[in-house]
Each structure stands twice: as structure tokens, then as C-alpha cells.
Structure 1
Amino acid sequence: MQFPLGSLVTLSLLFLVTFSLLPYYVHANIGSSWRHAAHNMLGGGSDKLTDLDSHRPLFTAGPWNHAHATFYEGGSGTFGGACGYEDVVKQGYGLDTAAVSTVMFKKGETCGACYEIKCVNSPQWCKPGQPSIHVTATNLCPPNYYQSSDNGGWCNPPRQHFDLAKPAYLKIAAYKAGIVPIHYRRIPCKKHGGIRFTITGNPYFNLVNVWNVGGAGVVTGVQVKGDHKMKHWREMKRNWGQRWETSAMLVGERLTFRVRASDGRYSTSVRVVPKNWRFGQTFEGKNFP
């Protein structure tokens, strides 16, 4: 690898972000857009949770853009670092993943986005036939201000850059190249099964990892409600990546989650968590088409 510093920084991020997992903040009212989406639950306890997105077109591939790609070493337990994915293989992302530069990462808002990438304009280093790969953004490639953005500081703002997991990079370019020009575009995420909700924390601080999200792939908001003491929606706050927090008392409640994607569509998973749930368990809900 020709860029050991950037790789080491990216890999170390998984350990740094864990210090953010402290119980803090008590959340109040949900925003007006969420109130509209939730219909105010039509009486507070209705099970008729209609997703208000039937009028929205399905997420489709976007335009092609120009950027560059490098690669970094790691494994299934590290390639999901800054997004909070514990094991990208077990969670369905495989090793075709990428750490994206700061301007693309957007403080975790891009976690879960799917991209098509092609190596271009480099006959010496691009694999023959210019194959394309599909990758998921699961990590952050942090800036390196000790190096210029055109000589080692590839992930410095305002560059758009992909630091690919090594197995993904080797599908499109030669190892010796180190860095190659690429074309990329956002594409829909194709997933097997429903959205997964993994609940960790304690009775006073709940942290939910939202993963295996189809469609746009990017989660921009999460709400949760119970059916006993917590009958009204509570908006969750992004803690880091795709881990969402709330201090609401969820223990003993049958839980319903509502997920908002970056394309404005909603997915409501009604009572997917039984009232006898335990911390550390994962539950499957409704996915986006």
C-alpha cells in the first residue's frame, strides 16, 4: 500500500468513535415533518400506519461524477468503522465497501449509500474491460492536513474520494497503482430481507443500529413508539453513523420503528420488537423497495 498513513487513520477511527457512546441528551418534541409523516397516529394508538410516500418515485441511479480511489487494509469487523456497522459481511454488505472523504461522509449522513464505480482514463492500471463494482459507504476516510490534497491528502476537503476496501479496489485496478481516477454514481441499494434494528444500551439510554436498508440506503431520520406507556412517536437522534439514540424508556414496550430515507420515502415497521425484548437483540422490519 502506497499510502500507509491514510490507511492507518481510517482503520483507527473505529476505536475513536466508541468514545462517543455516552448517555446524554433528553429529546423533546418531534419536528413538523415527522408529525406530518406519522399522521399523529390518528388517535394515538391506531395500527393504521400508512407510509406517506406512495406518490414518490422509487430511488434510481444518479448522474456520473469524477473522483479518485485508493484502498486500505482491514477486515469485516473494521470496514464498517465510522458508520457503526459491526461486521460488514454478517450484516450483508460484503467486502465491497468504501470509506468516503469528509465532504461525502457528511458526519455520517451518507452511511449506507450505494455506488457504482468504474476505473477510467488509466490504461496502465485499470483492469481490462473497465469492469464496474457496486460498493456501500460504510466508513470515513478522514483528512490528512499534513499532506497536500493532490499528494497524499486524498480525503482532504473539498475532494470527493473513495478509499476502497482492498478486495473491492483490486476488482477494478492494479495494486501497484495505489490511486486511480474513477467515475462513480449513486445507485439503489438491493437488499435481502427487511431493515434490521439492533438495540443496545441500558434502560436509560437506548442505541439502535439501523442496517440492511434498501432503496436510497441512507437513513436521515428514525422514530420509535411503544404500545403501553410510550404511545406517541419519539424522534431519535443520530449518535454516530447509523446508530440512533433515545433516552425514552423503551424496556417492556412492543416497539414500532419509522425510518425516513434520504429520498424522502418512509418505511414503518409495526410492532416488530416484542415487549420482552432484550438489549443486544436484532429485529427485522419492513424494507424499502
Structure 2
Amino acid sequence: MVSFHGFCYTMVIASLFFVVGNGDGEWQAAHATFYGDAQGGGTMEGACGYGDLMQEGYGLETTALSTALFNDGLTCGACYEIKCVDSKWCHPDVSVQVTATNFCPPGGEGWCSPPNQHFDLTQPMFLKIAEYQSGIVPVQYRRISCIKQGGIKFELAGNPYFILVTVFNVGGVGDVHGMSIKGSDGDWVAMSRNWGQKWQTGQQLVGQSLSFQVTTSDANMVQSDDVAPSNWEFGKTYEGKQF
């Protein structure tokens, strides 16, 4: 997928080097462009590894982040409020709330290159805050709490000797910074991050029910016991508790 300026891939991510806690973050300055079409084309798997964003509940309310915000994928899943400011192209008194699900790589016209803080929105989200003709507008943004329907989702992939878990639909601050897994016959084991929000373990856990601990960037942790039953299968998604 190519952005409006031809330099952003289909990956959406959000990240700041602070946490939201119980309130919203402070407004900060950035710029925004858009990618895809009016129907939101370009919502398949990107740098966060979430898969089909429409099917996984993120819809069109997503954004790709520049290097300065992406934090090498650790901020995938964070949520932002964004509004257009100081431009004749702005729609006044309108803001959008989006989840970071992709990466806007450096290069091209350089808007996503360090140290720029930049958002590449889906076209429908951009058009809520600004006119299409502008192409790029100055914005203000802040981190906000993520409100998600249902529990945290765990998609399982791999083989009997390697389990790769994609964690998504995370509420609270949204960005997962740590995961642990436990089989019904063992103890908690820390998982390592493979890329985006995909976490892995070499533990052999086939035939055991699986529990997960999810820790977000604000150091809050949710434990979901026996999320996947003992007859769990690769390729399936299981639902746990929520922040």
C-alpha cells in the first residue's frame, strides 16, 4: 500500500514515550497525511501484525506512525485523538480517535523521517478533520485510553515446538510491552517479542490449556486463566479478560 505521498506502507502504529494512566495525554504538535481510498483500502496486515483490521475490530479508525512515534513496534495498539489545526483546510471543532496499527517508514518527502512526529491516517479518518485537497495538514494529538469491545484476543500460530501469539484488541493504554504464558502443567514463562505485537515461546505446550499475562506500557497487567482449552488449535483466536 502506498500513502498519499507515496511513502507509507500499510502498517499502523501508535507510540509515545509516556503512558496515559487514567486520563488523556497532553496535546502535542505533529502533521498528518492519508493513505488508501475513500473505502479505507489498505487495512490488511502491516507492521503490527494484526491481520485484517476490519475483521479484528479496528475498522477504519487506524493510523500508521512515523519512526519517532512507532518505537520499533512497541506502541502498536496505542490510541490517539487527532485534530487539524492552523490550516484553511481544517474542519474546525472535529477530532478523530484512532488506534496505531502500522508504520510509516522514513523516506520519500521525509514526513515520516526522524525526528518528525507524523500520522498517516486512513483516508476516511483524514477527511473527517481536513479537506482532501490539502494532502498534508498540521495537527494536534494526544494519547487517550483505548475502549475496546470484548476481551483481549490471542491468535495462535506456530508448531508443536514454537508458539507465536498475536495479541490484539487491548484496552487501557493499548500498547503491550510484556507477555507471559503458562500451560496447565507448568509455571509462568516470559515470552519474547518477535515483531509488532507478535510474541513467541519455545515451550512445548500442545495438549495443555493456556493462560496469559499481558502487561501494557503503564505497567498494568491483566491475567487471563485458561484462555485456550487443552484442545486449542493453531490458527484459532481465543479471548481473555480486558483492562
Same fold (TM over 0.5): yes
2:235 is aligned with 1:286: no
2:216 is aligned with 1:251: no
Out of 87, 91, 115, the residue aligned to residue 52 of structure 2 is 87
Query: Could you tell me how far 1:5 is from its partner in structure 2?
Result: 2.4
Cα deviation per residue 1:21-53 (whole Å; 9 max; x = unaligned)? xxxxxxxxxxxxxxxxxxxxxxxxxxxxxxxxx
Say which structure is richer in helix.
Answer: 1
CA contact (8 A) 2:44 2:53 kept: yes
Corresponding residue of 2:137 = 180
SS in 2 for 1:92: coil
Percent identity of the aligned residues? 55
SS in 2 for 1:82: coil
2:31 is aligned with 1:68: yes
Query: Could you tell me how far 1:2 is from its partner in structure 2?
Result: 8.5
Q: Is the radius of gyration larger for structure 1 or structure 2? A: 1
Out of 96, 117, 120, the residue aligned to residue 160 of structure 1 is 117
Residue 225 to residue 91, structure 1, CA distance change in 2 (3 Å): same
- Output the CA distance in 2 between the equivalents of 1:246 and 1:78: 28
- Output the CA distance in 2 between the equivalents of 1:131 and 1:250: 49
Query: Could you tell me how far 1:78 is from its partner in structure 2?
Result: 3.5
* Structure 1, 232-241 or 111-120: larger mean CA deviation: 232-241
Query: Could you tell me how far 1:204 is from its partner in structure 2?
Result: 1.3
Cα deviation per residue 1:194-230 (whole Å; 9 max; x = unaligned)? 00001011111111010000001010000000112xx
SS in 1 for 2:174: coil
**Uncovered stretches (5+) of structure 2, i.e. residues with no partner:** 13-19
**Uncovered stretches (5+) of structure 1, i.e. residues with no partner:** 15-56
CA contact (8 A) 1:79 1:138 kept: no
Residue 139 to residue 169, structure 1, CA distance change in 2 (3 Å): same
Residue 2 to residue 85, structure 1, CA distance change in 2 (3 Å): closer
2:70 is aligned with 1:131: no
2:190 is aligned with 1:235: yes
Q: How does 1:28-39 map to 2 (within 5 A)?
A: none
Query: Could you tell me how far 1:58 is from its partner in structure 2?
Result: 5.0
CA contact (8 A) 1:255 1:273 kept: yes
Corresponding residue of 1:169 = 126
Corresponding residue of 2:85 = 120
Structure 2 counterpart of 1:105, one-letter code: F
TM-score, with structure 1 as normaliser: 0.77
2:222 is aligned with 1:222: no
CA contact (8 A) 2:3 2:34 kept: no
* Structure 1, 75-84 or 96-105: larger mean CA deviation: 75-84
Say which structure is richer in strand.
Answer: 2
- Output the CA distance in 1 between the equivalents of 2:141 and 2:76: 16
Residue 2 to residue 190, structure 1, CA distance change in 2 (3 Å): closer
CA RMSD, Structure 1 to Structure 2 (Å):
1.9
Corresponding residue of 1:45 = none
